[in-house]
Amino acid sequence: MKKYLLKRIGVSIVTLLAILLILFCMLEFMPGSPFNDEKLTADQVAVLNAKYGLDKPTIVRFGNYIKNMLTGDFGVSYTISKNTPISTLLQSRLPISIRIGGQAVLLGTLIGLILGIIAALKHNTIWDTLTTIISVLGVSLPSYVFALLLSYSLGFKLKWFPLLYAVDSPLNSSVLPTVALCMFTVATIARFTRTEMLEVLGSDYMLLAESKGISGPQLIIKHALRNALIPIITVLAPLIVGLMTGSLVIEKIFSIPGIGSLLVTAIQSNDYNVIIALSFIYSAMYIGIILVVDILYGVIDPRIRLAKGDGNE
Amino acid sequence: MSNQVDTVEFIKDDFEYVGADKISQVDVAYESQPYWKDVLSRLFKNKGAIVGLIFIILIGIMAVIGPNLNDYTYDSQIITEQNLAPRIPGAEKIGIFDGNEKMSTSTGMTKVNGYISADGTETGRENTYYWFGSDVLGRDIFTRVWVGTRISLYIALVAVLIDMLFGLGYGLISGYFGGAVDNAMQRFAEILNGIPNLVIVTLLIIVLKPGLATITFSLMITGWIGMSRIARAQMLKLKEQEFVLASRTLGAKNFFIIFKEILPNIFGQVITNTMFSIPNAIFTEAFLAFIGLGVPQPKASLGSLISDAFKSFTTHPYMIIAPVIVLAILMLSFNMLADGLRDAFDPKMKEM
């Protein structure tokens, strides 16, 4: 276990360093220098370089760069909001994105689980087919199609929910984005739960539990679902990727002031510092979550640890 | 037991002929089916997969001939013919696709028709037909949709090639040689996989110009990892089996064993996985186009059409409908075909 843990953490750190190196190189090889005012003499440029530590060898500057990035000092924004430190830009935006993402995960998991359980219990009936159709649709259609459908029907035509996100009424105006964002989660979880539940329902220990007189919700939840849910951790990684990419589009459509829409704006207005800062944040979140998921899985199911870590070499 | 047998008395009826249809069991010798025939027959029994396949073929045909079906080209602008609702010859007579569009103005809902004016004055557009309507710049949406579909299909082709050429080779080599080679190759893939796709694409686009080449390139960087894992896992399973040992004993070289002995045995998984990576790749392109990183104007892809039409979709909803429907059908079809292929190659999965 210890070896597996160390290895996973090691890989994560190396990955993070690799990303930092790529980002650093991009800044390094970008044409131009920070001090390209023609009035500056060579001596003045040298002084400025010394002041900002730019005369040091590359490796030292890379070290400084890592330190800055890890402590949240991402520099200033160029075009989106001139000379504002990026960390202040992020301060108000990060919580909004995380909240909407969190809502989508919770809602999606809940609906997905219910659909999956119903489909497994009513195997080969109309309910099962219906769930399959929903999950195929959810996986195949990009989240912006749902977002557009929802905002046109419920938002524009029926006027049940506001078309755009409003900071002062975060609950009401985040309904549509949450629903649009959670479709992928619903589909993935429903599909997975169905398959796993079917396998568990046909197992010997379910027969044993049933013959011991356990029935109803206790049988389903305590005996079947609990065992079916262990492998669901494996779909978490693709889910997170889906949420990250989905959030960009959803935040643009509903003009939510989160980090996804910030990235889209930054890309469209070539604000390099913001793009690089957000790339780092997205990568760090992704790597962190994957690490936690892998370790959790290793703790819960020792076979994974063997297959992934020590068994194959 | 012997007592029982002794007590049985045979009567005459026991030996009566009951006719041919009362025979309880007959041995039928089924003809042996080649593997491919078996797979295909299972695939063709799957309704979803066949519907998917038919739609993919139809969309493919339309992508080829669609842009030439009328006189408009994808980039020709007619400034006077902006924002015209869909109008189809024939269908206009029965009241659908007649170029009418409901607009909500300050005085309430009004019907607008850009082809025929309500007060009888000549507009010069009485014989003009935009089958899917025209966009805010006066371009034909029908032509643009099918030109855009070409890009999605091109992306699908790229995804297949990347999986087949790169992912498959990487996984097979990594799994076959094992040891230090495998270790190094797997660590590399692991680190690359740890970087979110989104970040890789964004960074690439800062360095390169947005466009089809950049999208292709970014798919090449990340698209192969899933396939390489599957190929490696299958290789690890198969390479210790007797038929490989036999082949090696007969003097087969590594190259021969990998591609002639093992590859045919994992082809089912390879094809299934390739099919599943197609909708993913199309999705990536549509997503990039939507956030403004797609093919540059005046070229069109389904994603960029949706992105453009989104800006005016509350006033002119018809503009967004055609590209969304084509994209949705394409994604659904590829997914259904991939599902069907998976079940056809591995019938055990279907029981689940």
Least confident of A43-52, A87-96, B87-96: B87-96
Chain A positions touching B287 (Cβ under 8 A) are: 142, 144, 245, 248-249
Least confident of A208-217, B82-91, B144-153, B180-189: B82-91
Take residue A154 and report the two structure tokens written for it: 């419920």
* Residue B269 three-state SS: helix
**What's residue A70's pLDDT?**
81
Q: Is residue A141 part of a domain?
A: yes
What is the rounded average pLDDT of the residues B80-105? 67
What is the rounded average pLDDT of the residues B303-316? 78
**What's residue B237's pLDDT?**
83
**What's residue A36's pLDDT?**
63
Q: Is residue A71 part of a domain?
A: no
Answer whether residue B58 shows pLDDT above 80.
yes
**What's residue B351's pLDDT?**
47
Q: Which of A198, A253, A290 sits opposite B352 (nearest CB)?
A: A198
* Cβ separation A282–B198 shorter than 8 A: yes
* Cβ separation B195–A18 shorter than 8 A: yes
* Cβ separation A141–B287 shorter than 8 A: no
CATH of the domain at B188: 1.10.3720.10
**What's residue B82's pLDDT?**
67
Nearest partner of B300 among B321, B323, B318, judged by Cα: B323
This model of the complex carries an ipTM of 0.72
pLDDT digits (tens, 9 = 90+) for A292-304: 887 877 777 666 5
Take residue B66 and report the two structure tokens written for it: 């669609």
Name every residue whose Cβ is closer than 8 Å to that of residue B255 and which is 6 or more positions away in sequence. Answer: none
Q: Which residue did the predictor score with more confidence, B98 or B33? A: B33
Q: Is residue A292 part of a domain?
A: yes
Q: Is residue B131 part of a domain?
A: no
Q: Which long-range contacts (CB under 8 A, 24 or more apart) does B334-337 make?
A: B334/A140, B334/B52, B334/B56, B334/B156, B334/B275, B334/B278, B334/B279, B334/B282, B335/A136, B335/A139, B335/A140, B335/B52, B335/B276, B335/B279, B336/A136, B336/B48, B336/B49, B336/B51, B336/B52, B337/B49, B337/B52, B337/B53, B337/B56, B337/B275
* Cβ separation A140–B335 shorter than 8 A: yes
Least confident of A33-47, A88-102, A147-161, B300-314: A33-47
Q: How far apart are CA B250 and CA B258, in angstroms?
A: 15
The phi, psi pair for B113, rounded to 5°, reads -130, 115
Task: Count Cβ atoms below 10 Å from residue B349 Cβ, excluding itself.
Answer: 13
What is the rounded average pLDDT of the residues B343-348? 75
Q: Is residue B36 part of a domain?
A: no
Q: Which residue did the predictor score with more confidence, A80 or A187? A: A187
pLDDT confidence bin for A32, thresholds 50/70/90:
low
pLDDT-above-90 percentage for chain A: 0
pLDDT digits (tens, 9 = 90+) for A238-284: 787 778 878 888 888 888 888 888 888 887 777 777 888 888 888 88
Chain mean pLDDT for chain B: 78
DSSP alpha helices (H): ranges in chain B?
Answer: 2-7, 35-45, 47-65, 141-161, 168-177, 179-194, 197-207, 212-222, 225-238, 242-249, 254-256, 267-290, 302-310, 318-345, 347-351
Answer whether residue B106 shows pLDDT above 70.
no
**What single DSSP character describes residue B34?**
P
Note the Cα B144 to chain centre separation in Å. 20
Nearest partner of A13 among A21, A23, A1, judged by Cα: A21
pLDDT-above-70 percentage for chain A: 92
Answer whether residue B352 shows pLDDT above 50.
no
Nearest CA in chain B to A201: B352
Query: Residue B289 corresponds to which amino acid?
Result: A
Answer whether residue A135 shows pLDDT above 70.
yes
* Cβ separation A248–B198 shorter than 8 A: yes
pLDDT confidence bin for A310, thresholds 50/70/90:
very low
Take residue A283 and report the two structure tokens written for it: 């990568």
Q: Is residue B172 part of a domain?
A: yes
What is the rounded average pLDDT of the residues A34-47? 73
What is the rounded average pLDDT of the residues B177-194? 82
Chain B positions touching A290 (Cβ under 8 A) are: 194
Closest-CA distance, B101 to chain A, in angstroms, reads 15
Scan for tokens 């510092």, then name that residue. Answer: A273
Closest-CA distance, A140 to chain B, in angstroms, reads 5
Q: Is residue B62 part of a domain?
A: yes
Task: Count Cβ atoms below 10 Å from residue B13 Cβ, excluding itself.
Answer: 6
Q: Is residue B115 part of a domain?
A: no
Tally the domains of chain B. Answer: 1
Name every residue whose Cβ is closer than 8 Å to that of residue A277 and which is 6 or more positions away in sequence. Answer: A69, A74, A75, A86, A90
Nearest partner of B302 among B149, B156, B153, B158, judged by Cα: B149
Domain extent at residue B246: 41-73+145-351
Say what angle helices B141-161 and B318-345 make with each other, to 10 degrees: 30
DSSP alpha helices (H): ranges in chain A?
Answer: 2-28, 42-51, 58-70, 86-121, 126-140, 143-150, 170-173, 175-201, 204-211, 216-217, 226-229, 236-253, 259-268, 272-300, 302-305
Nearest partner of B141 among B311, B287, B302, B283, judged by Cα: B302
Q: Is residue A42 part of a domain?
A: no
pLDDT confidence bin for A172, thresholds 50/70/90:
confident
What is the rounded average pLDDT of the residues A30-52? 72
What is the rounded average pLDDT of the residues B100-119? 66
Least confident of A79-83, A184-188, A302-306, B143-147: A302-306
Chain B positions touching A136 (Cβ under 8 A) are: 332, 335-336, 339
Closest-CA distance, B198 to chain A, in angstroms, reads 7
Q: Is B321 left (phi over 0), alpha (psi -120 to 50) or beta?
A: alpha
CATH of the domain at A240: 1.10.3720.10
DSSP A229-269: HGGGGGGHHHHHHHHHHHHHHHHHHTT--SHHHHHHHHHHT
Q: Is residue B299 part of a domain?
A: yes
Q: Is residue A40 part of a domain?
A: no
The answer to whether B151 and B332 have CB atoms below 8 angstroms apart is no
Least confident of A86-100, A213-227, B75-89: B75-89
Q: How far apart are CA B155 and CA B282, in angstroms?
A: 6
Q: Which long-range contacts (CB under 8 A, 24 or more apart) does B72-77 make?
A: B72/B130, B72/B139, B72/B140, B72/B142, B72/B143, B73/B143, B74/B139, B74/B140, B74/B143, B74/B144, B74/B147, B74/B298, B74/B299, B74/B300, B75/B139, B75/B298, B75/B299, B76/B139, B76/B140, B77/B137, B77/B138, B77/B139
* Cβ separation B195–A283 shorter than 8 A: yes
**What's residue B118's pLDDT?**
63
Take residue B161 and report the two structure tokens written for it: 């090639």
**What's residue A309's pLDDT?**
44
Answer whether residue B349 shows pLDDT above 70.
no
Answer whether residue B214 shows pLDDT above 70.
yes
Chain mean pLDDT for chain A: 79
**What's residue B89's pLDDT?**
67
**What's residue B210's pLDDT?**
74
Which residues numbered 147-166 in B keep a CB inside 8 Å of some CB on A?
none
* Cβ separation A144–B306 shorter than 8 A: yes
Chain A positions touching B286 (Cβ under 8 A) are: 142
Take residue A137 and report the two structure tokens written for it: 């649709």
**What's residue B22's pLDDT?**
66
pLDDT digits (tens, 9 = 90+) for B238-249: 888 888 888 888
Query: Residue A116 corresponds to which amino acid?
Result: G
Q: Is residue B128 part of a domain?
A: no
* Residue B19 three-state SS: coil
Domain extent at residue A245: 93-311
Query: Residue B232 corresponds to which amino acid?
Result: R
pLDDT-above-70 percentage for chain B: 80
Q: Is residue B82 part of a domain?
A: no
Q: How far apart are CA B205 and CA A268, in angstroms?
A: 11
pLDDT digits (tens, 9 = 90+) for B9-24: 788 877 877 776 666 6
